[in-house]
Chain A
């Protein structure tokens, strides 16, 4: 057992330094130094399955494996469908298989990226995780999907953008490695939402104007008063329900939420860069993945993007890439400037 096993937010340690005993001050300083020296970066995904694939890399084609946790919480669970095998008839298995394929296709066809790590990493998904489990996540190696409780949430594979969102968490880990805390964490969440909805739009052949810009629209049951879990066009309006509560996402920096919940509100403040992307994409028109998506993709793959980047730094780098790709001045740079101004972010 070491001090490392707990997390005390820095502002509380500051208070102890001010008022605590000499002994406490010593302890607090050690922890503070530790915090300063450490911004947890999970690092690139651990591609345990890659070695096993060996030279079987198949650029342009995913290597999908869908497992079934059979309502338990053991990963990866029993394998149900491998690449190339026919549909199983289990909607969760087949939805996960199809959605991972659609996500792979977006990144390959638009950005020439070969999977999560650009090295053909197999796409491993587990469905039927837990009992009534109302979540989906990326655990550093694979994607995991619950069935939902049936009352508020349906199975999490129903939404293509949700499956894609989880895969993109893996991709971010192998690129920008955005620390999952405060503004860099909200960027991590936002970029996952962005490429989640882009996957859906790409799959449906929708333009920015045609898309609904909702995240997780297919998850909610009829009983919930709401249209989705998040709205990129109008953050804070996705649901208002007696059981779920009210969508708390801000759409502008003036409403930025300072909180110690949810790792500093990573799923809350992501509404701000989400709306910036929506504003840029709809201003530019056409297919959102062609211009705005390209700019965002190059930004998260840019080694200059620090893993603790804030909104302003991220915004500045999107402008750098827009200028490089389309020239400055250009319609694209202008649209981006307007988009960031529209959510109160001053690019750095």
Chain B
């Protein structure tokens, strides 16, 4: 599994979900349009997503454990495509949490 090639039409939605107090005000979804990011920011976002892949899981949230959900909408072979990553809170990379919290991306991400 790798992050697909993401063109300028890509959009990303990042939210925190689940938990005993799963109230609307705590999800704080963040929508990011690649068209409005510069090349360095896009590379930074992709680097964050790459770091999420090894800790992403399809069964998350059991017993009120919170998780982050990344929904990627992009174009692939002239068709709309989508990828969803779910990352348990306790395994979430710090960069992902910062992206969700502040929209912060390290501009010179490795």
Contact = CB atoms under 8 A, between A and B. Distances in A.
Specify the main secondary structure of chain B where it touches its partner: mixed
B59 A3 contact: no
Contact of B53 (A1, A21, A24, A262): A1
A5 B90 contact: no
B25 A262 contact: no
Specify the main secondary structure of chain A where it touches its partner: loop
A6 B56 contact: yes
Contacts of B24: 244-246, 248
B63 A140 contact: yes
Interface stretch (B40-48, B77-85, B99-107): B77-85
B66 A135 contact: yes
A136 B20 CA distance: 6
Contacts of B81: 16
Contacts, number: 127
B63 A139 contact: yes
Given A135-B64, A138-B64, A262 B26 contact: no
B72 to A, nearest CB: 10
Interface centre among B17, B20, B24, B62 (most CB of A within 10 A): B20
A243 B1 CA distance: 38
Interface in B44-93: 53-54, 56-66, 69, 77, 79, 81-86, 90
A173 B64 CA distance: 13
A339 interface: no
A25 to B, nearest CB: 12
Contacts of A138: 62-65
A212 B63 CA distance: 24
A216 B20 contact: yes
B19 interface: yes
Interface in A36-54: 40, 42
Contacts of A229: 20-21, 23
A252 to B, nearest CB: 20
A136 B62 CA distance: 12
Nearest to A215: B20
A73 B57 CA distance: 20
14 contacts: A6-B56, A7-B59, A40-B59, A42-B59, A135-B19, A135-B20, A162-B20, A166-B63, A180-B59, A180-B62, A180-B63, A229-B21, A263-B60, A267-B22
Given A134-B19, A138-B65, 12 more contacts: A6-B85, A135-B21, A135-B64, A137-B64, A152-B25, A165-B64, A169-B64, A229-B21, A229-B23, A245-B25, A263-B61, A267-B20
Interface of B: 1-2, 15, 17-27, 53-54, 56-66, 69, 77, 79, 81-86, 90
Interface of A: 1-9, 12, 16, 19-21, 24, 40, 42, 73, 134-140, 152-153, 156, 162, 165-166, 169-170, 173, 180-181, 216, 219, 229, 239, 241, 243-248, 260-263, 266-268
